[in-house]
Structures are given as structure tokens and as C-alpha cells.
Structure 1
Amino acid sequence: MSLSSVLKDLEELTSNAKQTQDDLLDEILRVNANTKYLLPFLHGNPDKELFKKNVPIVTYEDARPYIERVADGEPSDVISGEPITSFFLSSGTTGGKQKIFPVNNKFFEKIVFIDALRTSIISKHINCVEQGKAMSFLNTRPLSTTSSGLLVAPLMTSFIVSSYFKKYWSSTRFTSPDEVILCVDNKQSMYCHLLCGLVRREEVVSLVATFASGVVQAITFLESNWKELCNNIRSGYISEWITDLGCKDSVSIILGGPNPHLADLIEQECSQKSWEGIITRLWPNIKFIQSTLTGQMSQYIPILEFYSNKLPLISPSYSSSETLFGVNVNPLCKPQDVSYTFMPNMSYFEFIPVDEGNNGEIIDLVNVKLGCFYETLVTNGFGLYRYRMGDILQVTGFYNSAPQFRFVRRKNIVLSVHVEATTEEDLFKALKHATLVLESSGLMLMGFTSYSDISTDPGHYVLYWELKAKHCNGIFKLDNEVMVECCCVMEESLNSLYREIRSKDGSIGALEVRVVQQGTFDSLMEYFISKGASTTQYKTPLSVNSPQVLAILEDRVLARFFSDKSSPL
């Protein structure tokens, strides 16, 4: 696909959003009206108005019995008029448990289209991107199957092992060979990605990971392993602990023999006291970092700006295991200002207004209103019909007739110990204010999660923080005054109900920050991966309550700090 043809598709689709949505729903109903799921509601009639009147709004728990019937071997027509060929496995770190979603190759075709679209948009804004390589941190996880033999894997793993990956995502676009991307051992894959990226440093024009946390993990991994990587480059031999034969053979070719000059150069940069700007120092021709930076990933923006000398941070698209939503048509905007233009050919989208006066009205894609907040419903034709995503979005504008949305938060309540309800948006607002205090003291927040501790009386909020000093590596001293101020600033930034209860009737105890050892959140990720989560799709949970997860965190606590506010908040 040429740049001009893809951008022409963007204009045509967004200019004809209503017609495209209507045509897509017509097609979905024509193909699926006689499925066992839709038959009781539509009686075989593929009428749009009948669909909107009779088909119920559902959550995953409503759809799960039908999905599991197909997974267990019943025909696809339980939920889909076309064959279901595999299932995507969600990470399980957002909602607490893994889910499976039915798909077929049409989903992969949509991935290819969205990738071509976001690549063309970036190329329009940044020159010469196509002439270099991306250093990616893609990898796969071990494959599994349903009892009926259908593949079950995370979205990116499913795509990477499909024919679409080799056809459209040739390794010529990446610094790493396919064998490294296909490696199921996270540590070996990460090491080899970095080794290839360092050897091919002059060719790197972008750094790519699914989520911003993946970029941060790569840099912290480099901090722990740069000496060994330099030894490999200096000697021309890969470390013996790389036992994956695909990795070993393909990366050895890229190493191409001893290169002491390059090893010395990398050693000189990595041995400096501060790692500020390390990305641009090691990869001098890099133009941008591409990763999801919205929602809970926004916490990593200051860290990436520190490591990259404020390179453009591009959040290119909005997607999930359920559907692909849209693209960022203004890739060079500030990462805090990202909005996504919904593509009307991806799924049929409906919206539930999020306000106290909502009378149950469901709104079509082109009828949403500027500034208003909505929860998205998805009908994708693979077995999800009027499915509640749980994402809260705000309309920020329109690109032609297609609306643009800012991701606000997940619908779920993150923390509560009394009658208050603290949302994801509340939590990030409070963290943003607290991190300003940290930054003024030369510290960075590398990772966090939270916990509603009701074992105390009164119950209170606990934040687990992993911190790092900006201008020195290794051990640093925590300033009690700074940390207590962080606790106080967070409390002052939470919603009015929390502040009222906390200051007046004593039903909520003082907010607590527990600082954990460096590497704690890597251990947390390893735990979730051992339970089936995908490395590529992993997101640190915003809140935890599992005894096993809490034990990992508690075992690594270095210090505890409490808000000392006694006056009204």
C-alpha cells in the first residue's frame, strides 16, 4: 500500500463515516442474523432497527457462555456466521482475569490496514522514517489451544505467528530478525532485541513497543545488562545463556565478528553517572518513540522524556482484543493531548452517555457531541454484539465526519475503603501532582500500584512506589519530608467525597506510600506472565488485592510514609 493511497482511504472513510457504519452493520447482520445468539432477538431478520430495539447490551460475563461453547467444540454459528479460527487472550491485568475473544482472519486484515494507516500518518509528519529501521520489543508467548483445537493466544502473538506478519511485517523493517520476535523466552528475546539494536544503532529511526511500560522495561534491562552486551559486541560472540537456537544463530550473523570500537562507544555512554538522554546518545539517528501513552500508560511520559531528551512520543492507535478503534492523525501532538479518530470500518460503534441524566439513550458514532463523555459499545461480527467495553471516552473534535476521542479512564472503581469511589482518573490526577514533588527532588516514579487496605481501622489507601534517582545510579536516600509531602499532595488531589470523609468523620485513614526495591515491578510482571499474561500486552494493574501479588510487594518494601494532614483537606 502506497502512502498516498492509504491517506486517501483515511479521507474517504472519515468523510463517509455514517454510510460506512451503516454498510458495516448491514454486512454484520446479514452474515450473523441466524446465529444461535442473535436468532431469538432478530428471528433471522437482518434489520438495523430491529437490532437496536431487541439485541441487549452485554458484558463479558453475558457473552462468555456462548464464546465458551465454540471454544469447547460447538459450531461457530453459535455466535458467528463465519468460521471462528482462533481466540485472542486478554492480558488479565486490567480487569483481574483473562478473557478469550473469538476472531478469524478478517481481524488480521484490519490490523494490517490500521498499521499501514498509522505508518503513513507518521511518515507524512516525519521525514525519512521508511529509510531506517525500528528497534522493536515485540515477542511471543507459548501457544495453547482450546479443547476443540483452536489457537488461543494474545493478539500480538496471534498476529506474529500468522501468515500476515511475514507478508506485511517483514523483519526488514526491524533491527531484530524474526527469530528474536518469535522467541517465547522474555529475557532472551529482550537481550537479543537490545543486542541487535545496538549493533545496528546507526539504522535505528524509531523505538517501538506496544505499551510505554515496555520501553521503560527495556531501558532498565539495558541498565542491568549493558556490560555483558558490550562484551558480546567486543568479542563478536553471543552469551552462552542464550540457548534459543533461532536467536543464537540469527543474532550471531548480525554481530558479524568483533567490534571493539562500537563496544567502547556504548560503554562510554552507559558508564556515565546519569542516564538522562541515553536513548538519543546510543541511537543518534532516532526520530521518535512509538508506543501507547494514554490511560494508565501516561505515568511513563516523564520517564521517557528523561531517557530520550524529549524525543517525540507518538501514541499511534487505540486498540484492544475486542476491536481496533482508530488512529492518532496528529502524531506530533503532546502525548498528554492525544485523541484517536475512530475508523468507521473497524466495528459498528454505539455510545452510552456518561452523565447522571442519561435516560438509556444509545447514540451512533456520528451523533456524539463535542465535549461529552461516553462508554463505547462494540459490535464486531466475530461474536460480540453491543458489547460494553468499559472505557470512558470524551469527544474532543471531528476529523471530517468521524469523531475523535480522548481516553479518560476505565469504568471500574480503582480504590474504596468506605463509601467513597476513587476512579482511575482520580488516581492519576493525584499521582500527577505527587510526581511533581518527586521530580523537584530529583526522583522518578518508575512504577506503582495501589491497594485498599481494610485490615486497618479505619481502612486506608496504600500506594506501592518504585523510585529511582535521576542523576545517579544505585542506592539513594529517601527524604522523609519529601515523601510525606507526596502523601499529603495525593490526598489533597483526590475527589471531594474522599477529602470530606477523611477530614470530618475519620472513616478513612491516612494515605500511605510504601517504597519498594528497584526491580519489584519486573518481579510483578514475571508473576503475571507465569499465570498466562503476555509480555507484549502486559500492563501493571492499577490496584491489587490478590494475596500472592501483595506478598511479592510486601516482601520488597523498603520504607513507609503517611500523610500527616490533621487539618481539613
Structure 2
Amino acid sequence: MQKLIMTLKSLQTKLQTNAQMLLIAAFIFGILGLWMLVLLRCDICNRSQGQKRPFFSLLSQYLTSRAVSILSLLQRRRLELNTKNIQQVQHNTLLYRIHRNRNTEYGKLYRFSEITDRKTFCTLHPLTRYDHYKDYILRIGKGEENVLISERPSVLSMTSGTSGSSAMLPSTRVTVNDFHQGFGMCFNSMLNVYPQTGNLQRTAKFFYPSNWSHSESGIPIGPNCLSSMTSKHKFNMYSTPAAGFEITAEPEALYVHLLFALKERTLGMLEANFASIVYHSFAFLQSKWEELIEDIRLGHVNPKLKITDDVRLKLSAQLKPDPRRASELAAEFGSGFRGIARRVWPHLNLVLAVDSGSNELYGSHLKQFYCEGVPIYSPVYAATEGLIGVNLWPEKEERHYLLCPQSMFCEFIPVDLCNEEQPQTLFMDEVKENSLYELVVTNASGLYRYRIGDIVKVVGFHNQCPVVEFKYRQDQMLNVRGEKITEKTFYQALLRAVKLWPGAVLLDYCCVESSLLGPFCGGSDPHYEVFVEIKGVRNLSEDQRYKLDQCLQEDSMVYQSCRRKGSIGPVRVHIVAAGSFKELMNFIIANLGTSYSQFKMHRVLRKKEFLDFIQRKVIS
């Protein structure tokens, strides 16, 4: 009995000791937890740049940002590993896609089950263009299964239509994931170079939802993944409330984006798919700033804005009168628009938008005028076909993109063989630095050995993987006598010519081959008709207009030879009214059924109705 009592007392003592230890541990963990919460709150407050936002709104953005940061670091490490064994990664990427679709009608036709390596693939499957797939895609839209790919596409994506007409391409979930991973890798690069972008400042995202349609079988038809809106849990990161992203009309949506962006003095970033969207947003701001600051002063949404009552009610709930901010903005706008971005948003860190290719002119306008002093990061090289490359060097002026070896299986046609229908191609591990190639891709959505029409220059290698610079699109090349003037060559010549026009600043331009004019070409010799929107001058002399032709001759020996022989006539330059190219953009979008968020300006017009439209805008 006495032993039992002693055992019970001993057990009681141990329990008391354990309880005390648990209390001490709980106390210590409680202190540590409280300390971590204090540190977390301090970190959030430090990163908030003095914003007067609810703490839980900041906390939500903080947690999202940290999660994206960790995920992007993992994706970047995976990319680095892939670039160290490029041949094997490309081999696996190709065979996975071939194996996945080997039992489709298309796979059986091209004997996918016999393909064991890239050379067999190139032997059994020809190089292709869009017409090769058109009937297959129409059948997929009608609901036929197992035709081109083994899964039902999530979207039938419309291309931007720079070739003159918009094409429809299937997009799968894999394509969507590739885009997300690409932006994740870019987010990692952005944080490394611009760590201040990790602050809890809101971003003004200029995004315009599309009016989606559906195929006969119910597959959504619309823009590609690059143009799709981000997931709803990220709305806290944007200055525009969620209701603003429901507005499909471009002028109304842009007005709302600008209204809420201007309210946010601590804005940290401007984001859009392309630099053209940001540029046109500032041009719109320049014409509407008085109405916008009046809305901020009164704390309401402009009653003239054509939006639904439901959306207006949701937006109005986010607005309060702010006469102090309105007065501050009025003073800045009254001082002019050079450098306006940094003046109205003193904490602005970055403009995130693609400014290569046809968007180079708009990027230049932003850097030299509206966004003076604010860096621009062009994050990805992408197309409707999918993600092609990522820019891991945000701080560099040159827009170089590392090809993503798991996104596309890539082949390269040396530029001097581009006119051949079935030229010999090279693989990623066979290309040479400083050489030009036409890019050929096999993607995850049923395009095999597809000639997308892009010409790229290999500027170097990251580990074993090519780093490329986009040079031009073949369908945007001027060619009336075999002279083949690329978009880049013409643009550089035009910039030089404009410098010879005293006081002139080039705002926008496009070209037309005289054959599109038909019997009204104004002469028998084929030539280029050039339409420019400029500020600073109202007219040009014939000698000044001829400067462009001289610059082209200096930049192209073939063009110069044709001019001297008289087989090509001189360039004819036309000045159009202010705002004409924005109107042309609206006209092309309405005509082709593309979206504002994916539109790229057509530097060479291929459709007569587009030419007729811009001709009506000529003032000189």
C-alpha cells in the first residue's frame, strides 16, 4: 500500500513537472509567436510605404507576394538546371508531346509511335504553316475529339492578326502553366534587380477583358494566355477594384484604371502586356486629366461613363472625396506631361511591359517622355503559340530572351534558307552566336514543326541554352522587288529621317506596298507609301520627305540598287492627323476580332480596308 502511495506521489510530481514544462514551453512559444507577429507587422508596415490600407489587405498581399517569391525561386532553379543539359531536356520535351498524342488521328497519320528521337521526328514530319492545321482546328471547334491532340483545348486562341487576318490556335492547360512559370521566373529576376518591387505597393494593371465567343462545341474563343486576367486572389495587389476588371469597353475600362491609379499616391508599378497599352493610357490621361481629378475631388465615378449600375455601385463604394490629392494632381498636370509618371507617383519603381519588336517605338516614348527616369522591364518573349523565352536581365537596355527549353521544342532555319519550303533545320545545341534564324516550334497544343514567322538573332548562351534577340516578323517585311526591307531596318531608317525634320517627333507610323493601292498607286513603279503621325511640325517639304528614301538607300544596298535602276520608285510620305493611329488600332481590333490586351500595331498594312482607313486621316 505504501509503495502504491509513493508511486502515485512520484507520478503526481512528474505530472506537475511536465505541466510546468509545458506551461514554460507554451509561454516561450507564445513570446516567440508574439515577437514574430510584431516583426511581421513591422515588416508589413515598412513595406507598405505609408499606405492607409486595412492591415488584412496588406497581410493578404504580403502572403501572396512571399508565396510567389518562393515559387519563382524554385522555378528559376529548375530553369538553371534545364539549361545545363539542353539536348536531353529538349529530347524529353519533344518525346513527351509526341507520345501523348500518338493515338490521335494526326499522330497516326504522321507515325508518331515510330518517333524515337528528334532526327526521326524531322524525317517523318514536314515543316508546317497555319494552313496545314486549319481544317483540323475547325473540326476540334465542332467537337471532334482525338483529332490533333489527345485532350480538349481549354481555349481556341485568336492571334493578333499582323499578317492581315487573325488565326485560331488551340491552347491547352500546359500552355497556361508555361506562361505562369515564365512570369514566375521573371518575377525572381525582377526582385533580384529591383528589390523595391517587393514592397507592398499596389500596381496599376491596364487590362481589358475580351468579349468571348464559343465554338459549336462550347470551347471558349478569345485571346491567348498572355492576355488572360490573373487569378482573383491577386486583386489586392492592384489599384483597380475587382469590379473595374469587369468592364469590357476599352475607353471606360481605361478611365477606371486611371481613376484608381491616380488616387493611389504610393503606386509602385505600371503593368500591361505591351508598352503600347501603357503609352496609349498616358495619351488618354493627357486628354482626360481634368475629368479624372474632378472625380477624385468629389469621390464619385464620372456619371457620363457608360458602365452598368452594378459596376458603378461597386466602384463608388471604393471612393471617398479627396480634394487634397486632386489639388496635388492638378498642380502636376498643369506643369506638363514630361516625366509625369514619377511626379504623380513619387514611389513608382517600374513599368512592366513588353517593349521589343513593334512595341519598341512606344517603349521609347515612355522612357523619353511620360515615364522619364522610371525603368522598363520587358519580361517575356511570347506568342499565341505559347511562351518562347524569358528576360533574366531586367537592368539591360537590350531585350534579350533566354529560350525556355521545357516550353517549346525549338528548331532553327538559317535566315538565308527561309525561302525554301522544307529547309534543313538546326537544333538548340547546334546554333551559332551572332547568327540569324527563323524560329520553328513544336508546342504543347498540337502545332508540330510550326514556322511562326519570327526571325531571331542568337546573341549568346546561358549555360548551354541560346539567348536570342527578336529581330522582325517575316509578314511585316516590305518587299516589292525582292529587296526585303525588314521592320527593324525600316524603323531605324525612319528614326534617322525624322531627326532631319527640324522640330519633328515621331509618334507612330505604318507602311503599305503600292500594290495594295491598285489602280490608284499614283505611278507605274512599285514603291512604299508611309503614313506617319508626328508632332512639332504640320507639313514637310518634298526634300524633307525624300530624306527617308535616302536613309533607306544608305541602310539597304539592295534597295539602293533597285532605286538606281529605277525598278522601285521613291518612298512617299504622308502625315496623318493627331490620334489617327489610335483610331486605326480600334478599327483593326473591331475588324479582326482581337482584344486590346493582345494587339500589336501592324507596321505593314496588308488589308485594303486598313489602308483606306488611314488614307482618310492624311492631312499633308
Q: TM-score, normalised by structure 1?
A: 0.90
Q: Which residue identity is paired with 1:253?
A: A
2:219 aligned residue: 150
Q: Distance in 2 between matches of 1:219 and 1:196?
A: 14
Residues 215 and 123 (structure 1), Cα distance of their counterparts in 2 relative to 1, 3 Å cut: same
Matched, 1:166 2:221: no
2:374 aligned residue: 311
Q: Could you tell me whether the CA contact under 8 Å between 1:465 and 1:516 is conserved in 2?
A: yes
Q: How far 1:87 sits from its partner (Å)?
A: 0.8
Gaps of 5+ in 1: 470-475, 560-569
How many residue pairs end up in the alignment?
Answer: 538
Residues 483 and 308 (structure 1), Cα distance of their counterparts in 2 relative to 1, 3 Å cut: farther
Q: Distance in 2 between matches of 1:218 and 1:280?
A: 15
Q: How far 1:289 sits from its partner (Å)?
A: 1.3
2:122 aligned residue: 52
Residues 182 and 113 (structure 1), Cα distance of their counterparts in 2 relative to 1, 3 Å cut: farther
User: Structure 2 residue aligned with 1:515, among 575, 599, 616?
Assistant: 575
Q: Could you tell me whether the CA contact under 8 Å between 1:429 and 1:493 is conserved in 2?
A: no
Q: How far 1:157 sits from its partner (Å)?
A: 8.0
2:183 aligned residue: 115
2:317 aligned residue: 253
1:226 aligned residue: 289
Q: Could you tell me whether the CA contact under 8 Å between 1:140 and 1:156 is conserved in 2?
A: no
Q: Which residue identity is paired with 2:584?
A: L
Q: How far 1:158 sits from its partner (Å)?
A: 6.9
Q: Could you tell me whether the CA contact under 8 Å between 1:350 and 1:378 is conserved in 2?
A: yes
Q: Could you tell me whether the CA contact under 8 Å between 1:446 and 1:467 is conserved in 2?
A: yes
Residues 85 and 4 (structure 1), Cα distance of their counterparts in 2 relative to 1, 3 Å cut: closer
More displaced stretch, 483-492 vs 34-43: 483-492
User: Structure 1 residue aligned with 2:131, among 61, 65, 87?
Assistant: 61
Matched, 1:376 2:415: no
Cα offsets for 1:514-551 (capped at 9, x unmatched)? 11111111111111222212101111111124332223
Q: How far 1:453 sits from its partner (Å)?
A: 2.2
More displaced stretch, 278-287 vs 13-22: 13-22
Q: How far 1:479 sits from its partner (Å)?
A: 5.4
Residues 376 and 417 (structure 1), Cα distance of their counterparts in 2 relative to 1, 3 Å cut: closer
Q: Distance in 1 between matches of 2:129 and 2:590?
A: 27
Matched, 1:137 2:197: no
Instruction: Determine helix, strand or coil for the equivalent of 1:349.
Output: strand
Residues 481 and 263 (structure 1), Cα distance of their counterparts in 2 relative to 1, 3 Å cut: farther
Q: Which residue identity is paired with 2:127?
A: I
Q: Distance in 2 between matches of 1:345 and 1:232?
A: 48
Q: Distance in 1 between matches of 2:464 and 2:577?
A: 50
Q: How far 1:477 sits from its partner (Å)?
A: 4.2
Q: Which residue identity is paired with 1:101?
A: L
Q: How far 1:505 sits from its partner (Å)?
A: 3.2
Root mean square deviation, CA, Å: 2.2
Q: Could you tell me whether the CA contact under 8 Å between 1:33 and 1:45 is conserved in 2?
A: no
Cα offsets for 1:128-159 (capped at 9, x unmatched)? 21222221111111010111211001015873
Q: Which residue identity is paired with 1:263?
A: A
Q: Could you tell me whether the CA contact under 8 Å between 2:413 and 2:440 is conserved in 1?
A: yes
Q: Distance in 2 between matches of 1:4 and 1:546?
A: 45
Q: How far 1:419 sits from its partner (Å)?
A: 4.4
Cα offsets for 1:74-124 (capped at 9, x unmatched)? 11x1100222232111121x1111111112222221221111111111011
Instruction: Determine helix, strand or coil for the equivalent of 1:550.
Output: helix
Q: Distance in 2 between matches of 1:176 and 1:113?
A: 25
Instruction: Determine helix, strand or coil for the equivalent of 2:589.
Output: helix
Residues 42 and 414 (structure 1), Cα distance of their counterparts in 2 relative to 1, 3 Å cut: same
Q: Distance in 1 between matches of 2:112 and 2:211?
A: 41
2:240 aligned residue: 176
Instruction: Determine helix, strand or coil for the equivalent of 1:412.
Output: helix
Instruction: Determine helix, strand or coil for the equivalent of 1:301.
Output: helix
User: Structure 2 residue aligned with 1:83, among 152, 161, 165?
Assistant: 152
Q: Which residue identity is paired with 2:235?
A: S
Q: Could you tell me whether the CA contact under 8 Å between 2:175 and 2:444 is conserved in 1?
A: no
1:495 aligned residue: 556
Instruction: Determine helix, strand or coil for the equivalent of 2:313.
Output: helix
Cα offsets for 1:423-450 (capped at 9, x unmatched)? 2232122123224335xx4432111111
1:196 aligned residue: 260
1:37 aligned residue: 106
Matches within 5 A, 1:281-300: 281-300=343-362
Q: How far 1:233 sits from its partner (Å)?
A: 0.4
Instruction: Determine helix, strand or coil for the equivalent of 1:403.
Output: strand
Q: Distance in 2 between matches of 1:545 and 1:52?
A: 32
User: Structure 1 residue aligned with 2:565, among 489, 502, 505?
Assistant: 505
Residues 544 and 393 (structure 1), Cα distance of their counterparts in 2 relative to 1, 3 Å cut: same
2:165 aligned residue: 97
Cα offsets for 1:271-300 (capped at 9, x unmatched)? 22x421111111111112111111121122
Q: Could you tell me whether the CA contact under 8 Å between 2:225 and 2:384 is conserved in 1?
A: no
Q: How far 1:418 sits from its partner (Å)?
A: 3.8
User: Structure 2 residue aligned with 1:527, among 578, 584, 587?
Assistant: 587
Q: Distance in 2 between matches of 1:491 and 1:432?
A: 11
Q: How far 1:491 sits from its partner (Å)?
A: 3.4
1:21 aligned residue: 90
Q: Distance in 2 between matches of 1:416 and 1:7?
A: 42
Matched, 1:126 2:194: yes
Q: Distance in 2 between matches of 1:419 and 1:321?
A: 29
Q: Could you tell me whether the CA contact under 8 Å between 2:476 and 2:602 is conserved in 1?
A: no
Instruction: Determine helix, strand or coil for the equivalent of 1:58.
Output: coil
Higher strand share: 1
Q: Which residue identity is paired with 1:211?
A: F
Higher helix share: 2
Q: Could you tell me whether the CA contact under 8 Å between 1:412 and 1:423 is conserved in 2?
A: no
Residues 512 and 494 (structure 1), Cα distance of their counterparts in 2 relative to 1, 3 Å cut: farther
Matched, 1:397 2:472: no
More displaced stretch, 236-245 vs 120-129: 236-245
More displaced stretch, 149-158 vs 261-270: 149-158
2:25 aligned residue: none
User: Structure 2 residue aligned with 1:407, among 458, 461, 470?
Assistant: 470
Matches within 5 A, 1:292-371: 292-305=354-367, 306-334=369-397, 337-355=398-416, 360-371=423-434
Matches within 5 A, 1:437-456: 437-438=500-501, 441-454=502-515, 455-456=521-522
Q: Distance in 1 between matches of 2:572 and 2:550?
A: 12
Instruction: Determine helix, strand or coil for the equivalent of 1:135.
Output: strand
Larger Rg, first or second structure (1 or 2): 2
Q: Which residue identity is paired with 1:87?
A: L
Q: Distance in 1 between matches of 2:542 and 2:154?
A: 58
1:461 aligned residue: 528
Instruction: Determine helix, strand or coil for the equivalent of 2:303.
Output: coil
Matched, 1:423 2:486: yes
Gaps of 5+ in 2: 1-67, 516-520
Q: Distance in 1 between matches of 2:452 and 2:185?
A: 24
Q: Could you tell me whether the CA contact under 8 Å between 1:491 and 1:511 is conserved in 2?
A: no
1:12 aligned residue: 81
Q: How far 1:247 sits from its partner (Å)?
A: 4.1
Cα offsets for 1:17-51 (capped at 9, x unmatched)? 32221211121111111211121221633422432
Matched, 1:388 2:454: no
Q: Distance in 1 between matches of 2:110 and 2:226?
A: 35
Q: Distance in 1 between matches of 2:89 and 2:309?
A: 47
Cα offsets for 1:369-425 (capped at 9, x unmatched)? 111111111111321111111101111111112110011111235323444332223
Q: Distance in 2 between matches of 1:465 and 1:196?
A: 33
Percentage of matched positions with identical amino acids:
27
Instruction: Determine helix, strand or coil for the equivalent of 1:115.
Output: helix
